[in-house]
Structure 1
Amino acid sequence: MASPTQQLPPGWTAEWDAGSGQYFFIDTTTGARQWEPPTITGSVEPPMGVGAGAPHAKSRRQYAAGQTQAYYGAPDAMPEQNFGPPQPPMQAGGQPQFFSPAQAQMQPQQAQQGYYQDPSQMNQMADQFSQMGMGGQKGFQLYTANLLTSPPDPRELSIPPPEIRLPPNASVTPSLTANADPSYQRCTINAVPTTSSLLAKSKMPFALVLTPYRTLNEGEEPVPVVTDTVIARCRRCRTYINPYVQFIDGGNRWRCCMCNMSNEVPQMFDWDQVRNQPGDRWSRAELNHSVVEFVAPTEYMVRPPQPAVYVFLIDVSHQAVQSGMVATATRTILENLDRIPDENGRTKIALICYDTSLYFFSMPPGSSESSMLVVSDVEDVFLPKPTDLCVNLAESRESLTNLLGRINDMFKDNSIIGSALGPALQAGFKLMSPIGGKITVLSSSLPSLGAGALKNREDPKILGTTKESGLLQAASTFYKTFAIECSRAQVSVDMFLFSQSYQDVASLACLPHYTSGQTYYYPGFNASRSEDALKFGHEFGSVLAMPIMLEAVMRVRATRGLRMSSFHGNFFVRSTDLLAMPAVPQDQSYAIEIQIEETVTSPFVVLQTAILHTTCYGERRIRVVTLALPTTTSLSEVFASADQVALATYFSNKAVERSLTHKLEDARDMLFKNLVDILLAYKSSMTAGGAGAMGQLAISENMKMLPVLILGLLKNVGIRQSAQIPPDIRAYAQALLTSLPSQLLIPYIYPTFYSLHNMPEEAGTVGPEGIVLPPPLPLTSERLERHGLFLIEDGQTIFLWVGRDAVPQLIMDVFDLPNYDALRGGKYTLPHLENPMNERVNAIVAKTRALRRGPYYSHLYVVKEDGEPALRLWALSALIQDRLDVLPSYQQFIGSLKDKVHGNGGY
């Protein structure tokens, strides 16, 4: 896709959007964003090192050279990496005197020593920033879009959220990383109403969306680590020092940004322990970065840091062996033993197999042999041996390797049908509860005996009725009760479920839900299909290699007047606001609702998440994520600051919660009602009535994709109105809706749609930052062509749609087949051929998989236009702007919203 080559007029800047491979343009005076360039005359090059299709490239603010110089000072006076003078000016008595950047403006004599150039330059900087919408001098500029004449543009979803515009000098350092990146922590509104009545009037939800442990893509900065164990915290509210505190009393004390308490600066705060000399306060990571990790001193430990412990519970019943699950699972563990985190040689591992009995394996250290111990009494579970069942990975590597190579052969002729999963869980718990760690369950059938036994409750007659939500709730109290026991003992559970028939995912997913684990589901798994074995092997291997965070507790603090009121995600709420997470996987998301309890008087509020945890390498740490947001008394600023991606993430959590506490129909009604309420509030407060009012459906420009995202949620299998969705499929979809980070959730509810047969020349080729992706299309079958090749993807599944009139040369180039008739539909592995079209399609498929954070590996399905009806319907259901069964098209949905907003009834 060609990039703009013109010179922008004054007051405009361009930013490269890696997701769509295009520029978007920002009016720096008003903050307005648009895809089309303003009137221009000269040339602009892409930002250095940024190309189309860069995976999750962080959008960085691009400043003109003069602005950068004014911000940091002249290059010769102050290097970029130095945020302050080597030594602070001295006050009477020989004590150092500290000035934050805010205070530095008031101290021209000290500014000359290298912190800033002079007060006039500081004022110039503040003026430039306020013009860019960062200084807080100008509020959020509200632009209204008419949903009736503004069809969804998928590129809108890759634009960063509305910029957070804090007052001048809110941060004590001029760091551009002082506020949280949206991929770690984002808010549904980026301007916080000062009163609960103003928030209620807007009808906007106020919630925080967290992904505190996200994966880092290549080239992304790792989270800075403070290793000197000097941790400054407020004495009253226990907030960690951050870029938004104030230094007072000549730098000897700091004022908390949450409760205004005055605290002493720790004695060693200004000492460089590595060099054993006075340090530079202003370069400390916690004053420059919104996301920072502290190495915790001993007072943060109840016990010495635990080693990482992995217990694998492997179903070896007849069905599990025949499907190839046992062979694939043991081979994957064997191939990934070197990837399991074990830098310090402390990691422990245990294997327990089960059918209607339990099979333990003793692996004495230093021996290459192992012995199997059988426990057939599953009513009163006990460990058959006190030692050598949970062994050190390094010390027992040889016997473990031999055992993994033999397990499938041991049980290859097993004819036992039945599953004692509950007793196996109890055995794994007994084995690891003194330490804690992760239980990984691999199950191929419905638990049938012992604790936690379940019955097949799948009943096609109640699908699509008001009773269906009962199938989405746990059928046995065992799983929630056991999960809470696990949480207390710092044990987390991951479930890998492989079913040929009903498995009651809703009940089994309780374990990961309350122990901060994750559920993975493989319906109809058969390892003889290479696609099935590859998907499971890739995902299971990624989970094994994941650097998990152990025995974690998380708490979110906020400025006085705000309170965390409700929590969504995989954890157990131990007290009113303390979340217990025995093992935190990467790329898991959480949503937290916030209430305004009393009038907020400060010009900005601060929300801080702190997670105390043990790394899987045996180090106790605290990860702190800080987000500052301006306050406002203006309703228009609340609307103009809304983050539609965070809103969709929040609503997905709320919809699943409502479907479980009430009915699926109630969840759908709630989503529609909330959207109508927002549109009504916007209409009554932000638009002028009159003859033309009935001809529009108004919403702020930054929220115009929210209706189509809500429609995507209404059509997602986790929420959708249908009598055809099996309860296991629906329960798994709901588990994804409440745990996926926004970067994965948005394509899951609003899939990506590309045309491949006529894509731009550079699509599928290597650009400066990797593979260039085609431009995304709106999700409607109107874009399908009978001679075309299209890709539809939702982060879990990739469809290649092939039109019935596709020319033989296209089929030959992509699939190595003579014509359309020779092509088969279904799960598929694309061949690698030496022709440009095949290479480009393979590159786009690979890049699409790599773009999605987390361990998921999408199945690829070939869908022929006149092929298997069920597969066609599945692929077409991803085109959510079309009508689907009883669910409306986007145009009908917008029409229903318009009728409701203008008082004419509706959907």
Structure 2
Amino acid sequence: MNQQMMPFGNQPAGFGQPGSFSPPGGGPPPPTSVNSQTGPPPRQFLDGNQQPNPQQKNFLPPHSMAPGGFMGAGEQGSPLNLGPVNKPPSALPGSLPQGTGPLKGLPNASPGAGIFPPTSQSHTGVGELQGGPSLAQGPGQFIRPTGPAGFINPGIVNNRPSGVQVLGNQQQQHISGPSGTPTNIPQQPRPPFANVSPNSAPHQNMFQSPGQMDSNKQFVNGTPQGPIPGMQQPQRMFNYAPQSQMPPVSGPMPPTSSSMPPVSGPMPPTSSSMPPVSASSPMPPMSGPMPPTSGSMPSGLGSMPSGLGSMPPGPGPMLSGQGPIPPTQSPMPPGPGSIMSASSNTVRPMYPPPPPSSNMNQQNLNMAQQQQLSGPYLHSQDNRSMYSPTQGNYNTDGFGGPPPVQQNNMRYPPVNQAPYQPMNQQYSGLNQNYSGMSSPNYPQPPAQQKSQRKLDPDMLPNPIQVMQDNEKSRSGIFYTDQKGLMPPLVTTNFVTHDRGNCSPRFVRSTTYSVPFSSDLLKQTSVPFALLISPLARIGEGEQPLPIVNMGELGPVRCIRCKAYMSPFMQFIDGGKRFHCVFCKATTEVPGEYFQHLDHTGQRVDRYERPELLLGAYEYLATKDYCRNNQSTEPPAFIFIIDVSYNNVKSGLVHLLCSKMKEIIRSLPRDEGSEMSNMKVGFITYSSSVHFYNIKSCLAAPQMLLVSDVNEMFMPLLDGFLCDPVESEIVIDLLMQEIPRQFADTRDTETILHPAIRAGLEALKASDCAGKLLVFHSSLPIADAPGKLKNRDDRKVLNTDKEKSVLAPQNNSYSSLGEECVKVGCSVDLFIFNNSYVDIATIGEVSRLTGGEIFKYTYFQADIDGERFISDLKRDVSRQTAFDATMRVRTSTGVRPTDFYGHFFMSNTKDIELASIDSDKAVAVEIKHDDKLTEEDGVYIQVALLYTSCGGQRRLRILNLSLNICTQMADLYRTCDLDTLVNYFSKQGIFKLLESSPKQVKTDIMNRCANILACYRKNCANPSSVGQLILPECMKLLPLYVNTLLKSDAFSGGPDMTCDDRSFAMHCVMVMDLTVSVVYFYPRLISLHNIDPDSLESPAPIRCTYEKLQDDGVYLLDNGVHMFMWLGMNAPTGFISNVFGVPTTPQVDTDKTALPNLENPMSMRIRRLIDDVREKRHRSMRLTVLKERDKMEMVFKQYLMEDHSTDGSPSYGDFICHMHSQIRTILS
């Protein structure tokens, strides 16, 4: 060991021999193979080496480890039911008279039997999507799980769920009117059902009277037909299913793209090269006016006279009891050369919506053959909310419905069908693999089908509308006194009043009605999981958690399971004993804690004790809960600064030292304390490690250099960790001297592992917990412990070989992280890289200790300095728990099994966190041990034992109670979609390190399809299998699953590097709900029409390029990145006021901050950007770009409703793919 101590000014430059110069990021070539890693025990997730360590000390009291006090270890869940593909059948000919339709999805169902939720259940339907075969036609496709189809209760057959359906056979063009929660309708009789062979036509209208011909048949041997005149329309549903037998019709035949003999008569020009058709060709009769067509076609599609799409008005809608309507001769329907633009706002009614009727339990809207409906949603007490079907068909290029018999012969579009007219982008990736997604190659459609009309996003479930509706209905005060009460969305502004259950800011569940058995839960494929943010920030107007001091007695606990006293405990025997709701044991009440009961069985001091009244509170822990049964010291922050060439040249060292005084003033403190009790220390390193003595009595700081980095030790005991207030003068001198001392360094070969160990040894010697803030620049290639090789290879990303660059290349940093956890030492990494640094490996030390990673690629102090300092201040100042252990207890019948997040587990129950702060969350999956009863419910208690910033040992207790359900409808009614998606993301990130990305994405998509298929089969009203029906609480599930799979953590764009991908994966694993909802669906707001005098935040718009106007300015952020998009024709007044230049081309896009201009618009926009950054957990760099710039391709990657350049589908395409999978499962 070489140790030197000298005052400043006497050291040689660089504090030792400078290493030989080599280019930054240099190193040996990447290895040809990767060291294999031994995986952790089954179901122990992201927790490092999880074998029980006999030397590991348990810091809970000895009686907390009593045998039988806790539930068993996690066990492997049932594998997904995979099997061969069941292709959806084609629509069969013929019609089925009333009473002979099969009860969809229920084998051997008796007449009238069915599974329907109560009338309060609502669901959103997305109607029939007709098209080709399923996208997923290879191994790994889900089939309908075996087992009972459900629980049949004939007594509630007519008490069906309310709902609306969107999308028909071939997807509608528009849906008008606001969205909202569907209202209930009175009960009514339903036509009886008889057991029919499964081979019955899947699209048969089950409400059709005997002998009645389906008025919606439109195909006869491939020829499109119109509605039959005089046919009576059923009031119950608009179900236009294609049939194969139809009577002949008259009128001209619509033009086709196939070869036909020449005919006489003029033909207007079209964009396709096909001969005109005879004017005497048959024309299907129409019962109403034709939808208008645009007078001109977009560029490249030719043009048409404006009047060719018009048609005289017809007799109007066919109502019940109306007599036959004679056919009318109509002009030629619009052909491929004269279609209405997909973005056209012109709407003309064909079939007006039926009048409100108690008959209309459910609207089944089939897109293939429906015409335009006008009018908004209907809202009333007696009538259902329903989507208005709109004109236009949508061919999904191979998916979305039953496959045609001969795809090459599908050349005759239906009457109301028109070719696809591109809006902003033409999606060309349908026939490619979905970036490693589940499905095999998308089927190749015929060339002529590529011109089909694209699905209008406005007709799909709108996430912005859902958030706004929830804000209107659920904002205000949220009381937690009801068991299993669903909380408002995380995007809603609400104030929690704790009345027995903790705030949803701390704990959220994927469902608030837990199925009574594991079989019922498996059928739904909905996971029962919790998202826990134990230190989440309380909302404005909410009370901080009270602290209960029980003195030497300590917290009162159950004698068997060691659960802490909570409002759920029941006192008996006059208050002498209490009954535990978690394990059913009875415990004697300590004499010091005894109190009499009132006439209701409640303690008379209930309102004076937070642990008996509130769902969240804290205990002051006794010495039994402290390490080595000794009082704890205040934690410490140690700043470990890389002073090698790269950090000095970029200006980082100078910037950090100049801002250190501000940073230290931001140190956290306990509630009620005026000053922080935390201590600070400083270490610098390059190829050697330097410790600093900053004792307040010194006239100048002293440095101790350790050059033997192979055996790191702590050379300084007294004076290393000091109170920053007492040593303020010495620290200021040190911050002035460090930049001067290393200004001329040429050391480029850095170390990292020894520097982190130096901080670990310092905390261990001081016998206190703390956090290491490491500021590192390059791949550690110096000859020292933790030396790494350069294995950068971005070509393997999104392939089966990506684990070779996303998994750690050795276990040196994993072992170091485990050592840090044992002493309560957390590590936050601030990476300033110009090249590959292998975040997948060095990030292990942060992952296992509950730390976080911040990355600033190509850092420049003048550009990125403000963002870095902002992130550092937030990291230092936020509420943090040190040396923490968390345990989740549940009532009998369920138990926690799987854990996802940044932490370490030495056993199957305790989550060990060297630190956890207010911005981090942990996901825990819970599984059944036994059947549950509705009377008992499910009770959950989260206990976090930690050291506060002031050095107090505390216990934070969070309680939550959930309902038990026996019907699937109750589960679907109380699902929290945001929590579900957050759980899927954390589970998926873990699985990416074990299996291929394609398989991971396949599993997520299949699970999504099974969730929706189970709802359709067991909870929705009977309808054609061609209709996609979505539960109200999960109508955005296809959108969010698609955005999750397209995110940087799972896919990323073509410019994604290995470090970028690893960084994104680390970010997702610690995200709480407030961040994940923005990360997976970024917020896009318009700036050009903002009121400079308004204080309200502008409402976001849908995240798609179609919402951008070339005369607008828009701001987009996802919590990590922020973009400002300038249209080519952006208002000159706005550009001048905000950027100080007259026109958009003159805007300097290299600037990352807006100029400080003294005008209301400039101040309003800058204030808005600051507000957005304040709501996020990271300070986002502002990237300004112009329309059609090169950076626009990067910007488009975050428009999550659009298709991506890597072939990832758009929202509309993905929902069609989901529908195809659901049809396969149901068939």
Shorter chain as normaliser: what TM range?
0.7 to 0.9
Counterpart residue number, 2:1133: 809
The CA deviation at 1:293 is 0.8
Report the 3-state secondary structure (helix = DSSP H, G, I; strand = E; otherwise coil) of the residue aligned with 1:897: helix
Counterpart residue number, 2:218: none
Matching residue within 670, 681, 686 for 1:350? 681
Matching residue within 551, 560, 564 for 2:892? 560
Report the 3-state secondary structure (helix = DSSP H, G, I; strand = E; otherwise coil) of the residue aligned with 1:413: coil
Matching residue within 869, 882, 896 for 2:1202? 882
Worse-superposed segment, 326-335 or 646-655? 326-335
- Which residue type is aligned with residue 609 of structure 2? R
Report the 3-state secondary structure (helix = DSSP H, G, I; strand = E; otherwise coil) of the residue aligned with 2:923: strand
Counterpart residue number, 1:681: 1014
Provide the C-alpha distance between the structure 1 equivalents of 2:555 and 2:787, rounded to a whole number of angstroms.
49
The 1:247–1:155 alpha-carbon spacing in structure 2 relative to 1, beyond 3 Å, is: farther
Report the 3-state secondary structure (helix = DSSP H, G, I; strand = E; otherwise coil) of the residue aligned with 1:730: helix
- Which residue type is aligned with residue 281 of structure 1? R
Provide the C-alpha distance between the structure 2 equivalents of 1:595 and 1:197, rounded to a whole number of angstroms.
11
Counterpart residue number, 2:961: 628
Alignment of 1:184-583 (within 5 A): 184-229=506-551, 231-269=555-593, 280-301=605-626, 302-341=629-668, 346-434=677-765, 435=767, 436-449=769-782, 450-529=784-863, 532-583=864-915
Residue 462 of structure 2 corresponds to residue 152 of structure 1: yes
The CA deviation at 1:164 is 8.3
Provide the C-alpha distance between the structure 1 equivalents of 2:522 and 2:636, rounded to a whole number of angstroms.
47
Counterpart residue number, 2:411: none
Residue 906 of structure 2 corresponds to residue 585 of structure 1: no
Residue 1048 of structure 2 corresponds to residue 717 of structure 1: yes
Worse-superposed segment, 886-895 or 403-412? 403-412
The 1:612–1:425 alpha-carbon spacing in structure 2 relative to 1, beyond 3 Å, is: same
Residue 1001 of structure 2 corresponds to residue 672 of structure 1: no
Provide the C-alpha distance between the structure 2 equivalents of 1:873 and 1:256, rounded to a whole number of angstroms.
58
The 1:271–1:404 alpha-carbon spacing in structure 2 relative to 1, beyond 3 Å, is: farther
Provide the C-alpha distance between the structure 2 equivalents of 1:642 and 1:379, rounded to a whole number of angstroms.
53
Alignment of 1:613-762 (within 5 A): 613-690=946-1023, 692-694=1024-1026, 696-720=1027-1051, 722-759=1053-1090, 761=1091
Report the 3-state secondary structure (helix = DSSP H, G, I; strand = E; otherwise coil) of the residue aligned with 2:1084: strand
Worse-superposed segment, 780-789 or 843-852? 843-852
How large is the RMSD of aligned CA atoms in angstroms?
3.0
- Which residue type is aligned with residue 396 of structure 1? S
Provide the C-alpha distance between the structure 2 equivalents of 1:832 and 1:295, rounded to a whole number of angstroms.
49
Counterpart residue number, 1:134: none
Report if aligned partners of 1:539, 1:857 keep a CA contact under 8 Å in 2.
yes
The CA deviation at 1:291 is 1.2
The CA deviation at 1:667 is 2.1
Counterpart residue number, 2:1122: 798
The CA deviation at 1:821 is 1.4
Provide the C-alpha distance between the structure 1 equivalents of 2:584 and 2:822, rounded to a whole number of angstroms.
35
Report the 3-state secondary structure (helix = DSSP H, G, I; strand = E; otherwise coil) of the residue aligned with 1:192: strand
Question: Which structure ranks higher in relative contact order (CA pairs < 8 Å, sequence separation ≥ 6)?
Answer: 2
Provide the C-alpha distance between the structure 1 equivalents of 2:182 and 2:804, rounded to a whole number of angstroms.
55
Report if aligned partners of 1:254, 1:262 keep a CA contact under 8 Å in 2.
yes
Report the 3-state secondary structure (helix = DSSP H, G, I; strand = E; otherwise coil) of the residue aligned with 2:659: helix
The CA deviation at 1:798 is 1.7
Residue deviations 1:669-711 (CA, integer Å, cap 9, x gap): 2221111111121122122444x330x2122101112221111
- Which residue type is aligned with residue 1011 of structure 2? I
Report if aligned partners of 1:157, 1:645 keep a CA contact under 8 Å in 2.
no
Q: State, as a whole percentage, how many aligned pairs show the same letter.
A: 29
Residue deviations 1:132-157 (CA, integer Å, cap 9, x gap): xxxxxxxxxx9999999533232424
Worse-superposed segment, 553-562 or 227-236? 227-236
- Which residue type is aligned with residue 888 of structure 1? P
- Which residue type is aligned with residue 289 of structure 1? L
The 1:143–1:404 alpha-carbon spacing in structure 2 relative to 1, beyond 3 Å, is: farther
Report if aligned partners of 2:569, 2:579 keep a CA contact under 8 Å in 1.
yes
Provide the C-alpha distance between the structure 2 equivalents of 1:613 and 1:536, rounded to a whole number of angstroms.
28
The 1:637–1:38 alpha-carbon spacing in structure 2 relative to 1, beyond 3 Å, is: closer
The CA deviation at 1:35 is 6.0
Provide the C-alpha distance between the structure 1 equivalents of 2:619 and 2:706, rounded to a whole number of angstroms.
45
Report if aligned partners of 1:368, 1:402 keep a CA contact under 8 Å in 2.
no
Counterpart residue number, 1:71: none
Report if aligned partners of 2:501, 2:959 keep a CA contact under 8 Å in 1.
yes
Report the 3-state secondary structure (helix = DSSP H, G, I; strand = E; otherwise coil) of the residue aligned with 1:511: helix
Worse-superposed segment, 239-248 or 329-338? 329-338
Report the 3-state secondary structure (helix = DSSP H, G, I; strand = E; otherwise coil) of the residue aligned with 2:1109: coil
The 1:658–1:165 alpha-carbon spacing in structure 2 relative to 1, beyond 3 Å, is: farther
Provide the C-alpha distance between the structure 2 equivalents of 1:35 and 1:831, rounded to a whole number of angstroms.
40
The 1:764–1:889 alpha-carbon spacing in structure 2 relative to 1, beyond 3 Å, is: farther
Gaps of 5+ in 2: 1-119, 121-160, 165-177, 184-383, 390-399, 401-454, 486-495, 597-602
Counterpart residue number, 1:135: none
Report the 3-state secondary structure (helix = DSSP H, G, I; strand = E; otherwise coil) of the residue aligned with 1:528: helix
Counterpart residue number, 1:4: none
The CA deviation at 1:339 is 2.3
Report the 3-state secondary structure (helix = DSSP H, G, I; strand = E; otherwise coil) of the residue aligned with 2:1070: coil
Report the TM-score, using the length of structure 1 for normalisation.
0.79
Report the 3-state secondary structure (helix = DSSP H, G, I; strand = E; otherwise coil) of the residue aligned with 2:942: strand
Report if aligned partners of 2:535, 2:880 keep a CA contact under 8 Å in 1.
no
Q: Which has the higher strand share?
A: 1
Report the 3-state secondary structure (helix = DSSP H, G, I; strand = E; otherwise coil) of the residue aligned with 1:205: coil
The CA deviation at 1:557 is 0.1
Report if aligned partners of 2:805, 2:1058 keep a CA contact under 8 Å in 1.
yes
The CA deviation at 1:360 is 1.6
Report if aligned partners of 1:144, 1:701 keep a CA contact under 8 Å in 2.
no
The 1:164–1:596 alpha-carbon spacing in structure 2 relative to 1, beyond 3 Å, is: farther
Matching residue within 817, 827, 838 for 2:1162? 838
Residue deviations 1:531-558 (CA, integer Å, cap 9, x gap): x101100110121223321211100000
Counterpart residue number, 2:1223: 902
Report the 3-state secondary structure (helix = DSSP H, G, I; strand = E; otherwise coil) of the residue aligned with 2:1101: coil
Report the TM-score, using the length of structure 2 for normalisation.
0.59
The 1:283–1:838 alpha-carbon spacing in structure 2 relative to 1, beyond 3 Å, is: same
Q: Which has the higher helix share?
A: 1
The 1:598–1:334 alpha-carbon spacing in structure 2 relative to 1, beyond 3 Å, is: same
Gaps of 5+ in 1: 1-11, 13-29, 40-141, 273-277, 767-771
Provide the C-alpha distance between the structure 2 equivalents of 1:38 and 1:764, rounded to a whole number of angstroms.
37
How many pairs does the alignment contain? 753
The 1:202–1:464 alpha-carbon spacing in structure 2 relative to 1, beyond 3 Å, is: closer
The 1:37–1:606 alpha-carbon spacing in structure 2 relative to 1, beyond 3 Å, is: closer
Report if aligned partners of 2:481, 2:500 keep a CA contact under 8 Å in 1.
no
The 1:143–1:351 alpha-carbon spacing in structure 2 relative to 1, beyond 3 Å, is: farther
The CA deviation at 1:405 is 2.2
Mark the structure with the bigger radius of gyration. 2
